[in-house]
Each structure stands twice: as structure tokens, then as C-alpha cells.
Amino acid sequence: MKLLSRAGFAGLFICAAALFAACSESNTATETTVVVETTVSEVAYPVTAGGITLDAQPMRIVSLSPTHTEMLYAIGAGDQVVAVDEYSNFPAEAVALGTKLSGYEPNVESIAGYEPDLVVISYDPGNLVEQLNALDIPVYIGNGASSLEQAYEQIEQLGALTGHLDVAVQLTSQMQTDIDAAVAASSASATAMGEPITYFYELDNTYYTVTSNTFVGQIFKLFGLENIADGVEEGNDYPQLSSEVIVSKNPKMIFLADTKCCAQTPETVSVRDGWQKMDAVVNKNIVQLDDDIASRWGPRVVELVKSISDALALVAAGN
């Protein structure tokens, strides 16, 4: 009887698991491409960067962080990557690998199954580094950057570790140049308005937002934009604002970072109760951002900067 009930459980369980697998999210790859030269340069190993030392050039890299996947491909280490996590949806070559490791619930055995000589993560969900080190697998941890400088540092560290330091340095200086140019171009638009431009940055459709202390908040600060969420809740950099507060603060611009997760568009925003009379809605200054680009601190941050710059130009033109 016990055996039968165990078999019963197993059966029920398998059905449920199948259901579970069927309902998992699907990824969408974005269309934009970043073109970078791939050079294989002579680098002297062993190399120490980012807190770890590698004795030889890593040829079997596993990345569990979508941001760092983008960095690796951008600095020309794409051929050295053998597996990425389920959320690494850019660039297309990464998706083409067909691997779907998990960065949040990592299965160490599966990771080890790829025989990696370098694993790149953005956070340790618990003992992951210890477990990988027990298998003599070096782990590079690139915590969420809180500034552009940190982002550049991580790109260059990965460059050093993978043997593409020159490409990495080239990339970061290019990024810096592009960003500075975009900011400079818009400073004209920003000052033309007279008063500082306020904005609301929407993380999801329940009005979670970010303050200027966050990475993406700092990008906006470069343009002199003012975040309506600053100072609302001391100590909380990801507050949830109420609809009333947002409407009463009446930001001039709204940036939607929930276009992919929550299907928000300027149309859906404009039909929200009480939002119709807002400046941003009336003047149609609602900017759609790609969720992924807005949440990562890799090379595509330049695109984010350009989106903001373009949007500012429109605002200026509208006035």
C-alpha cells in the first residue's frame, strides 16, 4: 500500500512538473547589434583581475549574468563562452548556444558539467562560489554596478581575464566618448527649457521606481534630469509610489522600463485614471525603454543614454 501511494505521488508529481515546465517564460531576443572587432591578442598569463587569478586563457566560460554575457561578447570573448543562463538573451550568439542555466537557483552539477575554466556571476545566491571553488573552478563576481566607472572597471577586468584587455579598454573609452557626446548634445535641450526637467521612471505597472542613487538613476542625473522619487522614502532606493503622488508631482517625462515584462505603452499609460491631464501624457513625452537595456550595466548602456538624449531632443522640439 505504501508502494502504491508512493507511485501515486510520483505520478502526480511528474504531471505537475510537466505543467510547470510548460508554463515557464520564453525569451525574446532584441534586434539591435553591437559591432565590435574581435582580436586575439597575446596576453601574458597568469592574470589577476577582479579578485581572481587565471593561469591560462579561459576557453570554456560559463556566464550566469545577462549583463556580463553582453560584456563578454562585446569584448570579443564570445567564442570562449560555452554556456549562459536563461536570461542571457543578447546577443543572438549567446541565445544560439541553447543553454538555459539558472543564475538564481543554480544547479552546480549542471554548471560543472560544462567543464568551465571560468564562471561569471553577478551575485552569489548562497555558497555558489564556495561550491565551485571546491571543484577548482574560478569564479568572477561582478556585483551590480552603482556607477558607470564600476561598469567600465568590470568590462576591463573581464577583458584582462579573457585575454582581450586591449579590446575592452577600447570599448570602454568608446562608450565614454559616446555617452559624453550624447550628454553634451542634450545639455542644449535641457537648458533650453529653463527649469529642470522632472521625470518618472517606471519599473513595473505597480509603480515601483528607482531613485537617483541607483545606476540607472545616475545615468539620468548626467542629463540634469530630476527624479520625482528622490527623497520620497529615505533609505529605500526602489520605492513604490502611489498613483496620487505621481500625478501630483506631474513629471514632464515618463520613462517606461516595463514595456517587455508588463506590456506598458504610451497608450496604456494615457488611459490610467487621473493620468490624462499630466504634462507627460498631454505632450506625449512618454519614452518606451527596453527592459533589459535599462536594467543592465553592460555595453548597451550607451543605447539607453542615446534613447534619453533623443527623447530630450523631442521634448525641446515640442516646446
Partner 1 sequence: MLRATDNFAPRAGTRVAYLSLVSFALLTIAVLVGTMIGPAGPQWWRVPIELANRLPLITVDSGVSPEEWNIVWQIRMPRVVLAVLVGAMLSVAGASYQGVFRNPLVDPYLLGVAAGAGLGATLVFTLRRSATENWLIDPLPLAAFVGGLVAVFATYMIGNTFSKARSSATLVLAGIAVTSLTTAVQTFVLQRNNDVVRQVYSWILGRLSSATWGDVRLILPYVVFSCGVLLMHRRLLDVLRVGDDEATALGMNIRRVRLTVVLAATLGTAAAVAVSGLIGFVGIIVPHTVRLIVGSSYRRVLPMSILCGAIFLVLADIPSRILADPAETPIGVVTAFFGAPFFLLLLRVRKNQA
Work out the burial of residue 258: count CB atoms within 10 Å of its CB; fewer than 13 is exposed, 13-18 middle, 19 or more buried.
Answer: buried
Work out the burial of residue 278: count CB atoms within 10 Å of its CB; fewer than 13 is exposed, 13-18 middle, 19 or more buried.
Answer: buried
Supply 290's cell numbers: 527596453
CB of 51 to partner 1, least distance (A): 10
CB of 290 to partner 1, least distance (A): 20
Among 47, 81, 101, 175, binds partner 1 (CB under 8 A): 101
Residue 44 lies near partner 1 (rule: CB under 8 A): no
Supply 206's cell numbers: 505597480
Residue 52 lies near partner 1 (rule: CB under 8 A): no
- Please state, in angstroms and rounded to a whole number, the distance separating the CA atoms of residues 129 and 210: 29
| Binding region for partner 1 (CB under 8 A) out of 10-18, 176-184, 255-263, 270-278 | 10-18
Among 93, 115, 180, 279, binds partner 1 (CB under 8 A): 115
Q: State in Å, rounded, how far the first CA of the chain is from the last one.
A: 79
CB of 287 to partner 1, least distance (A): 23
> Between 87 and 223, whose beta carbon lies closer to partner 1?
87
Supply 29's cell numbers: 531576443
Residue 131 lies near partner 1 (rule: CB under 8 A): yes
Site string for partner 1, 141-180 (x = CB under 8 A): ----------------------------------------
> Between 41 and 147, whose beta carbon lies closer to partner 1?
147
Among 29, 135, 184, 188, binds partner 1 (CB under 8 A): 135
Residue 82 lies near partner 1 (rule: CB under 8 A): no
> Between 95 and 112, whose beta carbon lies closer to partner 1?
112
Supply 260's cell numbers: 517587455
Tell me if residue 67 falls in helix, strand or coil.
Answer: helix
Work out the burial of residue 222: count CB atoms within 10 Å of its CB; fewer than 13 is exposed, 13-18 middle, 19 or more buried.
Answer: middle
Residue showing cell 540607472: 216
- Please state, in angstroms and rounded to a whole number, the distance separating the CA atoms of residues 149 and 167: 17
Supply 239's cell numbers: 520605492
Residues β-bridged to residue 61: 81, 118
Residue 111 lies near partner 1 (rule: CB under 8 A): yes
Supply 10's cell numbers: 510520483
Among 55, 130, 149, 279, binds partner 1 (CB under 8 A): 130
Residue from 230, 246, 240, 306 nearest 278 by CA: 246
Residue 134 lies near partner 1 (rule: CB under 8 A): yes
Residue 113 lies near partner 1 (rule: CB under 8 A): yes
CB of 206 to partner 1, least distance (A): 10
Residue 110 lies near partner 1 (rule: CB under 8 A): yes
- Please state, in angstroms and rounded to a whole number, the distance separating the CA atoms of residues 261 and 147: 25
Residue showing cell 552539477: 109
Q: Tell which positions 217-246 bind partner 1, by CB under 8 A.
A: 233, 235-240
| Binding region for partner 1 (CB under 8 A) out of 74-82, 108-116, 217-225, 273-281 | 108-116
- Please state, in angstroms and rounded to a whole number, the distance separating the CA atoms of residues 206 and 241: 8
| Interacting residues toward partner 1 by CB under 8 A | 2, 5, 8-9, 12-13, 16-17, 20-21, 86, 99-102, 104-113, 115, 123, 125-128, 130-131, 134-136, 208, 233, 235-240
